[in-house]
């Protein structure tokens, strides 16, 4: 199994979509309807203003990319960038423990990838 496949398999264990949005239960119109519901409700209460949150994530990812060796992104980079994503999300809502749980999961995967565990 390639390093990328191994990382992707591990990521699937972190995020398990609720049964209501699993791919095999929904047609594309249903997916779009659910997406519209998600982005038009008050998600700012959980994640902060979308533009501000995305700006924080972008600055964090810019920082990561400026610190790493030059070359193609690796699965380790992706795992670490996901930790940065979750840190940015956590900054706007310290009580939403899903962010910290995901952060710990991504960090554990990064540790395995960084140490060559397969």
The Cα–Cα gap between 99 and 103 comes to 6
pLDDT in tens, 39-86: 777 677 777 788 898 999 999 999 999 999 999 999 999 999 999 999
Mean pLDDT of the 6-29 span: 63
Say which residues have a Cβ less than 8 Å from residue 108's Cβ, sequence separation at least 6: none
Percentage of residues in the chain with pLDDT exceeding 70?
A: 76
Structure tokens at 76: 């380790």
Structure tokens at 108: 């554990």
pLDDT at 10 over 70: no
pTM for the complete prediction? 0.69
Domain extents for the chain? Answer: 3-15+47-114
């Amino acid at each position: 199994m390639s390093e990328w496949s191994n990382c992707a398999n591990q990521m699937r264990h972190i995020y398990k979509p609720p049964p209501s949005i699993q791919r095999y239960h929904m047609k594309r119109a249903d997916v779009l309807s659910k997406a519209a519901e998600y982005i038009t409700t008050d998600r700012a209460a959980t994640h902060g203003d979308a533009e501000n949150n995305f700006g924080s994530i972008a600055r964090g990812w810019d920082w990561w990319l400026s610190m790493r060796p030059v070359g193609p992104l690796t699965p380790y980079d992706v795992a670490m960038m996901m930790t940065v994503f979750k840190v940015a999300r956590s900054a706007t809502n310290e009580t939403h423990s899903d962010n910290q749980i995901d952060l710990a999961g991504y960090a554990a995967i990064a540790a395995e990838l960084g140490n060559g565990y397969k």
